């Protein structure tokens, strides 16, 4: 169990160190950098979900327009 805690501690320490270094280099607060990363992750997820819904709608529309008719009397 100690090994898992050591690994978790290592990644938490160095993961937050990335955002603090970036904030120091840009001259802004660290909380703003972390908040930016959270917002960007939500935007990218929402964008991919919107593309999925659009493609599903277009495929459904294509199926409704191009139905296979077996004879002339199916109109």
> Would you state the torsion angle of the CA atoms of residues 63, 68, 72, 74, taken in this order, to the nearest 10 degrees?
-60
Q: Using 50, 70 and 90 to split pLDDT, how confident is the model at 12?
A: confident
Query: Comparing C-alpha atoms, which of 25, 22, 46 is closest to residue 36?
Result: 22
- With respect to residue 71, please indicate whether it lies within any of the assigned structural domains: no
List % helix, strand, coil for the chain (3-state, nearest 5).
85, 0, 15
- With respect to residue 33, please indicate whether it lies within any of the assigned structural domains: yes
Q: What is the pLDDT of residue 68?
A: 67
State how many domains the chain has.
1
- With respect to residue 74, please indicate whether it lies within any of the assigned structural domains: no
Q: What is the pLDDT of residue 39?
A: 93
pLDDT in tens, 24-73: 999 999 899 889 989 999 889 888 889 999 999 999 888 877 776 666 77
Spatial separation of the C-alpha atoms in residues 69 and 51, rounded to whole Å: 31
Domain of 34, in residue numbers: 2-66
Spatial separation of the C-alpha atoms in residues 18 and 64, rounded to whole Å: 51
- With respect to residue 18, please indicate whether it lies within any of the assigned structural domains: yes
């Amino acid at each position: 169990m100690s090994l898992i805690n050591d690994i978790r501690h290592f990644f938490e320490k160095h993961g937050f160190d990335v955002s603090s270094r970036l904030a120091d280099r840009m001259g802004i607060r660290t909380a703003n950098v972390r908040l930016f990363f959270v917002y960007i992750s939500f935007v990218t997820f929402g964008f991919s979900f919107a593309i999925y819904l659009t493609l599903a709608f277009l495929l459904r529309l294509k199926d409704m327009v191009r139905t296979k008719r077996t004879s002339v009397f199916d109109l």
